[in-house]
Amino acid sequence: MIVATWKKSTIGHPEETRATIRSLGFRRLNQKRELPDTPAVRGMLKKVSFMVAVDGQPFERPRRARYKIPRTRSAKKHSRGR
């Protein structure tokens, strides 16, 4: 048996990823599930490895994407004093 914990929300992720989480039997965040050790379950866990922690393996939360770094405000727009 594999013990897995759902750690990250599916908000903003594709429907395919949400369906994988649901098919693993997760209903709420931080829920633990004992899953059978089959190739199908291992494949599903590998697909959503950035959202699910498996006991015995280190879980590292995904870092924020580089393109989401806040940009500086334009001087022209904000020099009007408003």
In this structure, what token pair is assigned to residue 42?
């291992």
Domain ranges, ordered by start, for the chain? 2-68
Please tell me whether the overall predicted TM-score, pTM, comes out greater than 0.75 for this model: no
Write out pLDDT tens, residues 6-26.
999 998 899 999 999 999 999
Cβ contacts of 52 within 8 Å, gap of 6 or more: 4, 5, 6, 7, 21, 24, 26, 45
CATH number of 2-68: 3.30.1390.20
Strand partners, 52: 6
Distance CA 1, CA 5 (A): 13
Assess whether pLDDT exceeds 80 at residue 45: yes
What pLDDT shows up at residue 58? 84
Residue 82 clears pLDDT 60, i.e. is over it: no
